[in-house]
Amino acid sequence: MQTKAELTKLHILETVAPIFNQNGYAATSMSDITNATGLTKGAIYGNFKNKEALAISSFKFTVKKLMTRISNHLELSDSPIQKLFLITDFYRNYYDYSKQLGGCPVLNIGVDANNQNTLLLKNVKIIIEKIQDQVASIIEQGIEVGEISAEINAMQYAKRLDTMIQGAVFMTYTMDDEFYLKDTMNQIDQMIHNELKA
């Protein structure tokens, strides 16, 4: 069973992570945090060294949730090329889902932390690399299995897909219009059909 402190830590992260994600680091104050959690500074600073450490834990907490959800979704098929279609399938509904998280953590914290918080930015970079490695790995498996053309540079293609997805997420949020996500996913599906398929 979890100790009381562990439950408190979880409660803090569950409450605070979306706030940091939505507002950004500087725009989130410690009183925002105590108000939202219903806890006092004693409880917060007892569980986290300082504001920055809490922000980093919050980012990791949100990303873990997100990555788990994607991973589960990708298990719906064993075929590499079908897994790629499952990725676009996932992001077609990403606007509604990520709103619960306070927005896309990679986009929000990536922009927010740039030239502001080195440690936080470092964590974003690591996550982006991890995501791209996973997509590249799927493509490589597709090549091995013969589903995907051997001409394809897996890592380059993974970066391309990631770039397009992040662009679509940014546009959908900024314009408050799901067209961008939907259309970009259609575009990627076409790319998979026309460029990737063996």
Partner DNA sequence: TATAAAATATACCAATTGGTATATTTAAAT
Partner DNA sequence: ATTTAAATATACCAATTGGTATATTTTATA
* Positions in the binding site for DNA (CB under 7 A): 3-5, 7-8, 28-32, 39-43, 45-47, 50-52
Query: Least distance from C-beta 29 to DNA, angstroms?
Result: 3
Q: Which residues bind its own copies (CB under 8 A)?
A: 22-27, 103, 106-108, 110-112, 114-116, 121, 124-125, 128, 156, 159-160, 162-168, 170-171, 173-175, 179-180, 183-184, 187
Query: Least distance from C-beta 46 to its own copies, angstroms?
Result: 26
Pull the structure tokens for residue 9: 């830590």
Query: Least distance from C-beta 111 to DNA, angstroms?
Result: 19
Q: Which is nearer to DNA, 16 or 63 (CB)?
A: 16
User: Alpha carbon 89 to chain centroid distance?
Assistant: 15
Q: How far apart are CA 12 and CA 185, in angstroms?
A: 35
Q: Which is nearer to DNA, 19 or 139 (CB)?
A: 19
What sign for the dihedral angle of Cα 93, 98, 103, 107?
Answer: negative
Residue 150, contacted partner among its own copies, DNA, none, CB below 5-8 A by kind: none
Angle between helices 118-145 and 154-175 (to 10 degrees): 130
Q: How far apart are CA 88 and CA 196, in angstroms?
A: 14
Q: Which is nearer to DNA, 51 or 160 (CB)?
A: 51
Q: CB count, 10 Å around CB of 102?
A: 18
What sign for the dihedral angle of Cα 10, 14, 19, 21?
Answer: positive
Q: Which is nearer to DNA, 28 or 184 (CB)?
A: 28
Query: Least distance from C-beta 123 to DNA, angstroms?
Result: 17
